[in-house]
Amino acid sequence: MNGARWLVQALLAEGVDTLFGYPGGAIMPFYDALHGSSLKHVLVRHEQGAAFAANGYARASGHVGVCVATSGPGASNLVTGIADAMLDSVPMVCITGQVGTPLMGTDAFQELDVFGMTMPIVKHNFLPRSVDDLPDIVAEAFRLAREGRPGPVLIDLPKDVQNADASHLPAHAPAKVDATPGASDAALHAALAQLALAQKPVIYAGGGIALGDAVDAFRAFVDATQIPTVSTLKALGALPHAHPLNMGMLGMHGNRAANLAVHECDLLFVVGARFDDRATGKLAEFAPNARVVHLDIDACEIGKLRIADAPVEGDLTISLQRMLAASAAHLHGRHGVARHAWRDACLHAKQIAAPRYDAPGDSVYAPSLLRRLSELAPAAIVSCDVGQHQMWVAQHWRFDHPRNHLTSGALGAMGFGLPAAIGAQMVKPDAQVICVSGDGSFLMNVQELATVARYRLPVKIVLLDNQALGMVRQWQELFFERRYSEIDLSDNPDFCALALAFGLQTMKVDRADDVEAALQALMAAPGPMLLHVAIDQTANVWPLVPPNRNNSEMLDADEATTLERIALPTMPQVPASTTQTSALSLPLSS
C-alpha cells in the first residue's frame, strides 16, 4: 500500500466513479495503482480535454468532477479547464503529478510551479510533502470543492509521495460538508418589505440557482409571487421555457422584452446572479429605477457591483422557502392593480418580441434549425462551444432545466463543447447529449473525437460552419468599420471526412429544405454522429447591445437603427421613506 494506491481507495470512498486524464512520468505511480481498480478512467487525447470533460461531468450532475495529468505540460494543459471551473463555480478536484520533493526547485525535467501557477484559479490548492499529509488533504479538497459556492481544488502530488509507504494510513473518511446557514430573519424581513412595496418587480435569475440545487424552491417562489423573470446565460432552464412568466435571457444578446422589463422595473429581485457585464451592459444605467434585493450564497458577490438595498446572504433554497411562508399580501405587494398591469405589459412585450423563424432564402437559418432540434430532443443535455452558435442556442433552445445547458459562461473558452459533452455522456449514459459547435471552436479540441469513438459514446454533434470566426467577424463588421482581420476560415478541412476518419457517421446539410430530414436522421442514428451545417457567413446574432450602451439600446439587423422601447406602463416610484421593515410582521419560521 503506497500513497498512490491509498489515493485510489480514497477517491472511491469519496464516491468518485469516473475520472478523466492522460498519463506521464510524474503521475505514473498513480496510473499503476489505477490498474485493476474499479475506478473508470477515461483516456482523453489532450489534458485540456480532461479538464473540460470533468467540468462537463460536474455541470451535468452536480457531482465533483475529477481530472488527472502529469507534471509540466500535462499540468499546464489543464489550466484553461480549471479556470473555466473557477469562474463558473464548478466543483472539481484536479490531481497533477509533480517531480519528487528532493528535485523540486532544481528545474528538473517537466517541473513547473503548478501550485503557484494555479493559485489564482482555484478555491484552494495543496502540495503534500509527505504521505502522512494525504488523508487531511484529500478530505479537505473534496469538502472545499463541494461546500458553499463550489469550485475547483488542485492537489499537486510529488512522485515520491505517491511511492511512499502508506500501509499505516487509516482508511479514508470523507469530511463532512457543513450546511450553508440560511439568511437572518432581519435580512428576510427587509427583502420582503421591498417586495411588498414594489409595483414593477422583476426577478433576475442566475447560475447560483442550479449550483445550490434550488430549482424547485425557485420555481415555487415565482409561481407564488407571479413576478416576470429574466435569466442569465447560466440560469436558462431555471424556469421551464414554456413558463408564462419566463421572459428569457437578458443582456448583450438577450431577449428585447427581458432587457426592457429590467430597464423599467422598480425592484430587481436577484437570485444567485452576479451582475456580470454581459448581462448588465453599461452598469451605471442597468435597472436605473430599481431598488435591489440580492440573494446569494457568496457574501463577496453581494454589493460587489451593485449596492443591495436588501442583502440576503445564505442558502438559496432555505431563503426562498422561508419567504414563501410569508403572507400573500407581502408576496404580491400593496399595489395589486399596478402589479397586475405590469405583469400583463411584460407578457405582452414578450409576445411582441418573440423571435421569428421564417427567414427568406434557401440557406440554412441557424436559429430555426436549433429551435427545431430542441423540439425533437426536449430533454437533451446540450453542450456548447463559444461564439455565435452559443448565443443562438441560448436564444432559441427550449431548456427545461439549467443542468441541461452546459456552456462556458464567464471564461468563454472555445474548445469547451466536445469534451464537456463527453463528460456529460459519461455521467448520464442514458441521456441524449448534443454538442453544438462552430467551425472555429471545433478544431480546438477536435482530437476528442477519438475519445468519443473509443468509448462508443452516442454524442450527437451539430457543427455550424460559416467558414469564419463568426462573433469576431460580427464585431469587426459593426464596430471596426468592416476591417476583417484574421477571421477567415475558408480553408477549413472537410469536416465530414475528418469525422469519418475517427469512425463517426456524418451528414451535411446546406439547404433549408433539407434541414428536417437531416435532423431526423441525426436523432435516429444509433451512435455518435456529426451533422455538418453550412450557414451564411454574414449571418449575425440579433439583438445586440453595443459596447458602453445600456440594455434598452439594442440594435437589430440594421446596425444604424436603435430599437424603440416596447411600451411598458409608467408607474410612480415607491418613495424610499416608505420602506420600513419594522412595520412588517412576517411568519419566518424555519
User: What pLDDT is stored for residue 560 in this prediction?
Assistant: 40
Do 3-163 and 185-354 come out as alike in CATH topology? yes
Cell triple for 106 = 532544481
Query: Which triple of cell numbers denotes residue 36?
Result: 485493476
Q: Are 347 and 356 spatial neighbours (Cβ–Cβ below 8 Å)?
A: no
Q: Count of alpha carbons within 13 Å of 236, Cβ hemisphere only?
A: 27
Amino acid letter, 297: I
Candidates 426, 421, 428; CA nearest to 405 is: 421
Element (H, E) at 361: none
Position 256, amino acid: R
Grid cell, residue 77, equals 494543459
pLDDT at position 327 is: 73
Residue that the C-alpha cell 442597468 belongs to:
286
d(CA 274, CA 459): 32
Which residues does the annotation mark as catalytic? 47, 109-110, 159, 471
Sign of CA dihedral 224, 227, 228, 232: negative
* Beta strand segments in 70-133, E: 92-98, 124-126
E-assigned strand segments in 18-70: 18-21, 40-43, 65-69
What is the tally of helices (H) and strands (E) in the chain?
23, 18
Nearest-angstrom CA–CA distance, 541 and 254: 10
In 165-281, alpha helices (H) = 185-197, 208-211, 215-225, 256-264, 277-280
**CATH entry, 3-163, from 3.30.450.90, 3.40.50.460, 3.30.70.260, 3.40.50.970:** 3.40.50.970
Q: Report the distance separating Cα 247 and Cα 249, nearest Å.
A: 7
Confidence (pLDDT) at 558:
65
> What architecture (CATH level 2) is domain 185-354?
3-Layer(aba) Sandwich (3.40)
* Residue 267, helix vs strand vs coil: strand
Strands 460-465 and 405-406 turn out to be unpaired
* 8-state DSSP, 468: B
487's CB contacts (< 8 A; 6+ apart) are 468, 469, 472, 473, 476
- The C-alpha angle with vertex 198 and arms to 194 and 200, in degrees rounded to 5, equals 140
Closest CA to 150 of 275, 30, 55: 55
Q: How far is CA 117 from the centre of its chain?
A: 24
Residue 366's contacts (CB-CB under 8 Å, 6 or more residues apart) are 388, 389, 392, 464, 533, 535, 539
Predicted confidence at residue 556, as pLDDT, reads 85
How many other CB atoms sit within 10 Å of the CB of residue 556? 14
* pLDDT attached to residue 334: 76
Length of the chain: 590
What is the spatial distance between Cα 333 and Cα 342, in angstroms, rounded to a whole number?
Answer: 13
Give the 3-state DSSP-derived string for 410-425, with helices as H, strands as E and coil as C: CCCCCCCHHHHHHHHH
Cα-flanking dihedrals φ and ψ of residue 247, to 5°?
Answer: -90, -5
Q: Determine the residue type at 403.
A: R
pLDDT for res 569: 44
Residues of the chain with pLDDT under 70: 558-590
Q: Is 463 helix (H, G, I), strand (E, B) or coil?
A: strand
Q: How many CA within 13 A on the CB side of residue 149? A: 21
CATH: 3.40.640.10, 3.90.1170.50, 3.40.50.300, 3.40.50.970. Which one for 366-534? 3.40.50.970
Domain ranges of the chain: 3-163, 185-354, 366-534
The residue to which cell 463532512 is assigned: 176
Which burial class, exposed, middle or buried, applies to 455 when counting CB atoms under 10 A from its CB (0-12, 13-18, 19+)?
Answer: middle
